[in-house]
Amino acid sequence: MEPITPSSERFLAGKTSLITGGSRGIGFAIARKLGELGSRVSVCSRDGKRLESAASELERAGIEVFAMQCDVTRPADIDAFVQKTESSLGHVDIAVNNAGVGLFGPSHEASEADWDSVLDTNLKSVFLMTKALAPRMILRRSGHIINIASLAGKNAFAGGGIYCASKWGLLGFTQCVAEDLRGYGIRVSAICPGSVATEFSHGGGPAKGKDSSKMLQADDIAHAVVMLVTQAPQSFISEVVMRPTQKP
């Protein structure tokens, strides 16, 4: 790929992008931005009503969309989502693993079900999606896989044991898969934002009580995704760390 320029608004024309957790927040902002650059867009969510609304909004913006209700912790759902995306839009060129959940509080007070919910959504789902997409990308010797991690994958804080474990694991997994696949022309990257002003950030954790006007916005993360997928062929940005200009 050549670097994006101001005259290349449809830089991703003919490409297909798949985004998990694409019905709202960061995932929706990424889907919209990639679609504005000409990509066909496939989005999934567990929330069928939100997904329908998001798909309609993307379509009104002139973006070709496939949307499917999907639980990314289930292998059968992942496989079906990938297969139906390919049938509707063609092979996947860009995959953004964005779906995530958070649960905060002392780890010793959490249940095993709490652990499974967070780790399965934030980490296992990325493993499942990688297994589904990597062989296809290897055959084409091209592709981008972008995992939305967090500064919580680098920094410990009280009450963050389960969430931090999922994001630390995601960063380790991303780095290893990048080494597994880079020889096939596939780039695997992580984006590590600080607190982002979305519905997720108001659910607890380190962002609770912060000034949302000073936090990162969903479009900031979408901008970083665009930067990654518009690199020149010889360039590989493996990790992006993002913080707000002012501490919220």
Query: Rounded CA gap, 83 and 23, in Å?
Result: 20
Q: What is the dihedral of CA 69, 75, 76, 82, to 10 degrees?
A: 60
Query: Which among 28, 66, 163, 168 is annotated as catalytic?
Result: 163
Angle at 237 between CA 182 and CA 150, to 5 degrees: 105
* 238-242 contacts at long range (C-beta below 8 A, 24 or more positions apart): 238/175, 238/178, 238/188, 238/189, 238/190, 239/171, 239/174, 239/175, 239/189, 239/190, 239/191, 239/192, 240/189, 240/190, 240/191, 240/192, 241/151, 241/154, 241/192, 242/191, 242/192, 242/193, 242/194, 242/216
Residue 22 φ/ψ, nearest 5 degrees:
-95, 10
**What 8-state DSSP symbol labels residue 212?**
G
Q: In Å, how far are 15, 70, 85, 97, 172 from 45, measured between CA atoms?
A: 21, 6, 14, 12, 25
Count of H helices and E strands in the chain?
7, 7
163 is catalytic: yes
Angle at 98 between CA 92 and CA 102, to 5 degrees: 155
Residues known to be catalytic: 163
